[in-house]
Amino acid sequence: MSESRKHGRRGLTDGIEETAIAVILGVMTMTTFANVIARYVFNSNILWALELTVFLFAWLVLLGISYAVKKTAHLGVDAVTNLLAPGPRRILALFAVACCLAYSLLLLKGSWDYWWKFATTASFLEVNDIPMPGFLQFVADWMNDGEPYEKLPRYIPYAVLPIGLALLTLRFAQVGLSVWRGETDSIIASHEAEDLVEEVAAKATAQTKAEN
């Protein structure tokens, strides 16, 4: 596969993930704002607003975790690894990735087992407040013996558990492959403090020169 096609595919997946995260955050903000207006202006309440916000926040966090791994945006401590030569640093990075991958696989297994019961034997269970959108009622024929849902079935919002952790496992596998190939030697963002100090110092120097 050519480099241009790789970058194109990477840009497409980045766009999908970033758009999904932005949409979730936007819907959370609008729902919360609408509920505040309803409560303090119209002395009313959007009954399902809080529950929807909680579910959306879970989606935001679980999708954001894998995206941050992909972008090496998670914070970490690299005081020890920076003292090592490139070879040992790479070995330590591979060990860290292996630990993270094992942990994410355990979480994926647990999340799948938890979600699966809501998608099979307990597919009739609904959330507390969020009404079932009409355009999703077709799933009742598949999951609820044709009986329409009054509220959103739990397996829909809970699906973020296996989805998010499958993405997390994939991202750790990709990072491990990058470390193995020698393309990177770290899975975390590092030197944030030094970068901030250098940025502030550069701005201060520029401002001093401008004043003089």
CA distance 207 to 85: 39
With DSSP H G I counted as helix, E B as strand and the rest as coil, what are the percentages for the chain, rounded to 5?
Answer: 70, 5, 25
CA distance 158 to 59: 9
User: Domain ranges in the chain?
Assistant: 3-192
Q: What is the pLDDT of residues 87-111, one digit of tens each?
A: 677 788 788 889 989 999 999 999 9
Across the strands, what pairs with 189?
Answer: 75
| 102-104-108 Cα angle (round to 5) | 115
For residues 48-67, average pLDDT: 91
Q: What is the pLDDT of residues 140-191, one digit of tens each?
A: 888 888 889 999 999 999 999 999 999 999 988 988 888 788 776 666 665 5
CA distance 162 to 59: 11
Task: Round the average pLDDT of the chain to a whole number and report it.
Answer: 81
| 51-56-61 Cα angle (round to 5) | 130
Which pTM was predicted? Answer: 0.75
- If we measure between CA atoms, which residue out of 94, 95, 107 comes closest to residue 66? 107
Q: Which residues of 130-157 are buried (b: 16+ CB within 10 A; e: fewer)?
A: bebeeeeeeebeebeeeeebeebbbbbb
pLDDT for the residue numbered 28: 92
CA distance 190 to 199: 15
Across the strands, what pairs with 84?
Answer: none
Q: Are strands 126-131 and 151-153 parallel, antiparallel or unpaired?
A: antiparallel
pLDDT for the residue numbered 100: 87
Q: How far is CA 34 from CA 24, 30, 38, 45, 162, in A?
A: 15, 6, 6, 9, 31
Tokens of 4: 């241009």
Residue type, 20: A
